[in-house]
Amino acid sequence: AQTVTQSQPEMSVQEAETVTLSCTYDTSESDYYLFWYKQPPSRQMILVIRQEAYKQQNATENRFSVNFQKAAKSFSLKISDSQLGDAAMYFCAYRYNAGNMLTFGGGTRLMVKP
């Protein structure tokens, strides 16, 4: 069974600084998909970024980028120029393919200090 681990329950960052959230996963598959979701206090789950395992290039979405290390089964999220609105729970997630469920890590609570 696939597992996703987020080892940092809480992180804090100063506004405008950069922060990296860690995620590791376990799978025996070679093709799969990885995601970071953001959950603000409104509790809405919002997709931040996704990565296809067959792509070597790290995904980037504006201030958000990932460091995908397939051999190490590591998938970290880097947030640059942190903003107050980035404060939220962040969940790393794994999906084998379209026919399967999304498996979540335990989440990291990010606090942004003004």
Partner 1 sequence: DAGVIQSPRHEVTEMGQEVTLRCKPISGHDYLFWYRQTMMRGLELLIYFNNNVPIDDSGMPEDRFSAKMPNASFSTLKIQPSEPRDSAVYFCASSFWRGANVLTFGAGSRLTVL
For partner 1, the closer CB: 45 or 111: 45
What tokens does 50 get?
């996704």
Q: Measure CA 57 to chain center.
A: 16
> N- to C-terminal Cα distance for the chain?
41
For partner 1, the closer CB: 85 or 99: 99
Footprint of partner 1 on this chain (CB under 8 A)?
33, 35, 37, 42-45, 47, 50, 91, 95, 97-99, 101-107
Under 8 Å between Cβ of 82 and 112: yes
Smallest separation, CB 50 to partner 1 (Å): 6
Task: Please tell me the distance from the alpha carbon of residue 75 to that of residue 83, in angstroms, as a whole number.
Answer: 22
For partner 1, the closer CB: 69 or 106: 106
Smallest separation, CB 18 to partner 1 (Å): 26
